[in-house]
């Protein structure tokens, strides 16, 4: 699948009423999932609803997913995790990986901190902005 074909598929998916789409062709597999909310049906009037309550502020800061993808706690299946609860990390240090469309992206610590908890399981799908790790600034 070429890049223009992929972009066209993404644009059509965005305009559709589908919630998810998985396409597998030789040498390529693509899965598109809407991040939140019900699928929109073209031409349907939106239902009236009460305004959504403001999200509660987290008790401790979290490192969130910079993109929709698969969360990896370690650089490889037989390697130790980048961080464990209780580990002290420096600003910019890699704390996990996110994979999207066969591209790996490093997620770094935003400041010198102590990792309090890993909130996702290794190999679990994470949506944009979902909490991955909870930390305490140093």
Strands 103-108 and 94-100, bridge-based pairing: antiparallel
Contact 36, 127 (CB under 8 A): yes
Distances 38 to 35, 63, 68 between C-alpha atoms, Å: 10, 26, 17
Is 90 exceeded by the pLDDT of residue 62?
yes
Kindly indicate the confidence band of residue 36, based on its pLDDT and cuts at 50, 70 and 90: low
Percent with pLDDT over 90 in the chain: 52
Is 70 exceeded by the pLDDT of residue 95?
yes
Phi, psi of 26, rounded to the nearest 5 degrees: -50, 130
Report pLDDT for 65: 93
pTM over 0.85? The answer is no
DSSP bridge partners of 18: none
Is 80 exceeded by the pLDDT of residue 56?
no
Kindly report the number of other CB atoms within 10 A of residue 3's CB atom.
Answer: 7
Encode pLDDT of 39-52 as tens digits. 444 444 444 445 55
In this structure, of 28-32, 61-65, 116-120, the range with the lowest mean pLDDT score is 28-32
List domains and CATH numbers for the chain: 3-33 (no CATH), 62-137 (2.40.50.100)
Report pLDDT for 40: 46
């Amino acid at each position: 699948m070429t890049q223009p074909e992929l972009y066209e598929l993404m644009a059509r998916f965005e305009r559709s009423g589908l919630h998810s789409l998985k396409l597998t062709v030789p040498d390529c597999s693509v899965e598109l999932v809407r991040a939140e909310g019900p699928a929109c049906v073209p031409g349907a009037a939106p239902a009236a609803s009460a305004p959504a309550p403001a999200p509660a502020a987290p008790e401790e800061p979290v490192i969130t997913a910079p993109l929709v993808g698969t969360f990896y706690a370690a650089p490889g299946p037989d390697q130790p995790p980048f961080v464990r609860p209780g580990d002290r990390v420096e600003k910019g240090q890699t704390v996990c990986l996110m994979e999207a469309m066969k591209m790996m992206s490093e997620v770094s610590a935003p400041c010198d901190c102590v990792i309090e908890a890993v909130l996702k399981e290794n190999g679990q799908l994470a949506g944009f902005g979902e909490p991955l790790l909870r930390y305490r600034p140093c």
